[in-house]
Structure 1
Amino acid sequence: MREPDRIVRMKTVLSRTGLSRSTIYRNIRKGTFPPQIKISTNGAGWRESDINRWVADPVGWRAANDNNELGGKAGKHGAG
Structure 2
Amino acid sequence: MTLLRLPDVMARTALSRSAIYDLMGEGRFPRPAKIGGRINAWAEAEIADWIAARLAEREAA
Scaled by the length of structure 1, the TM-score of the pair is 0.65
Instruction: Supply the RMSD in Å over aligned alpha carbons.
Output: 1.4
Q: Which runs of 5+ in 2 are unaligned?
A: 57-61
Residue 57 of structure 1 and its aligned partner are, at CA, apart by 1.2
In structure 1, C-alpha distance between the alignment counterparts of 2:13 and 2:4, rounded to whole Å: 12
Scaled by the length of structure 2, the TM-score of the pair is 0.85
Select the structure that is richer in strand: 2
Q: Which runs of 5+ in 1 are unaligned?
A: 61-80
| Moved beyond 4 Å, runs of 4+ | none
Over residues 17-44 of structure 1, what are the superposed CA-to-partner deviations in whole Å (9 max), with x where a residue is unaligned? 0011000000001010000110001100
Select the structure that is richer in helix: 2
Identity among equivalent pairs (%): 36
Look up the match of 1:43: 39
Aligned length: 56
Q: Name which structure has the greater RCO, CA cutoff 8 Å, separation 6+.
A: 2
